[in-house]
Amino acid sequence: MSMPAIARYLPLATKIALLVCLAVLPGEAAAESVLDRAERTGVLNAGTRDHIRPFAFRQEDGSFIGFSVDIIRHIHAALEAKLGRKIELRLEEVDSQTRIDRVADGTLDFTCDIASKTWVRDRLIDYSLTIFFNGTRILTERQIGLEGLGGLEGKKIGVIANSATISVLRRGLPASELAEFPSMNAAMAALEAGEVSGISNISIVLRDLQRQAAQPGRYIILPRAGYLNAEPMACILPQDDSRWRDFVNHTLVRLLKGIEEYRGPYFETYQKWFGPNGDLHYPLNRDAINHFNQIRGWIDD
């Protein structure tokens, strides 16, 4: 029997209840926003990756610190200010795949680390505005690097499994063989052992790995100027939660205020980790400044 036919035999109150249910059912539109859930539970669940210094890494007591962690804490502080109450921040470790899965299934409210924006990922999650601007390059033996990128044609290059770097290299160096590793530390160990001819990630991660190598001068980063692919890094947010996404983006825009004059909350956080006295010296360049100026070009209130 069809739904209209069944409805003829139902009491009026039941018909009204049924109509309300049908109006709400197409479900995800009525899903609870992170903003409402945080206010109801007093908890904000966030994730970040370990071993990507200085973005996120653990201290001796097991707690996370780093640039990405500070961005998470900025968002947490802004949420407490908005809600006018204390909110517990629960910060958990994720990897390149679980950060997508755990936000998509609602286990985590967001993650921040070095997540590149891809259309494949965007089918499952949403992104914030940019939190860090960099680009894909390759760390290789200096002798190979003297030949430029052509010296890596047909060679084996290490990448993190399930990373966006894989697609970049397949486009930029299609003749190269890719070897997948669970972490960049494992990839770097393979490079030092001669098992791969290069490893690829965003430039700043490679710079840190080169710095920690037993013989830093043995390696070179390619291309020498520019990137294989410019990559704006973003926080990962739940799909179709516009209120939460708007709140996170508004927070980031406010953090970026003054960036064009090398001042403001974002710049202070950047200098803490990447300035002359930071964990890894990596000056904020004009390309990044210009990118940030473009994304914060909204009229503020």
Share of the chain above pLDDT 70, in %: 89
- Specify the CATH architecture of the domain 136-229: 3-Layer(aba) Sandwich (3.40)
Contact yes or no for 279/53 (Cβ under 8 A): yes
Classify burial at 94, counting beta carbons within 10 Å of its beta carbon; exposed 0-12, middle 13-18, buried 19 or more: buried
Is residue 31 predicted with pLDDT exceeding 90?
no
pLDDT band at residue 43 using 50, 70 and 90 as cut-offs: very high
pLDDT band at residue 9 using 50, 70 and 90 as cut-offs: very low
- Summarize the confidence of residues 93-101 as an average pLDDT: 90
Domain ranges, ordered by start, for the chain: 31-133+231-295, 136-229
A 10 A CB-CB count for 267 gives 21
- Summarize the confidence of residues 150-155 as an average pLDDT: 91
pLDDT at 67 (0 to 100): 97
Which of 40-49, 76-85, 160-169, 237-246 has the lowest average pLDDT?
A: 160-169
Is residue 225 predicted with pLDDT exceeding 70?
yes
Pairing of the two strands 43-49 and 110-116: parallel
Share of the chain above pLDDT 90, in %: 73
Question: Which region holds residue 226: left if phi is over 0, alpha if psi is between -120 and 50, else beta?
Answer: left
> Do 136-229 and 31-133+231-295 have the same topology in CATH?
yes
Two tokens at 38?
């945080």
A 10 A CB-CB count for 263 gives 12
The C-alpha atoms of residue 233 and residue 106 are separated, in whole angstroms, by: 21
- Summarize the confidence of residues 128-156 as an average pLDDT: 93
Distances (CA, A) of 3 to 16, 26, 167: 14, 17, 48
Q: Which helix or strand (DSSP H or E) is residue 79 part of?
A: helix 67-83
pLDDT band at residue 220 using 50, 70 and 90 as cut-offs: very high
| Average pLDDT of every residue of the chain | 88
Is residue 23 predicted with pLDDT exceeding 50?
no
pLDDT at 270 (0 to 100): 97
Is residue 14 predicted with pLDDT exceeding 70?
no
Buried b (16+ CB within 10 A) or exposed e, 126-165: bbbbbbbbbbbbbbbbeebbeeebebbeebbbbbbbebbb
The domain made up of 31-133+231-295 has a fold known as: D-Maltodextrin-Binding Protein; domain 2 (3.40.190)
Instruction: Please tell me which residue, 15 or 290, carries the higher pLDDT value.
Output: 290
pLDDT at 295 (0 to 100): 84
Is residue 18 predicted with pLDDT exceeding 50?
no
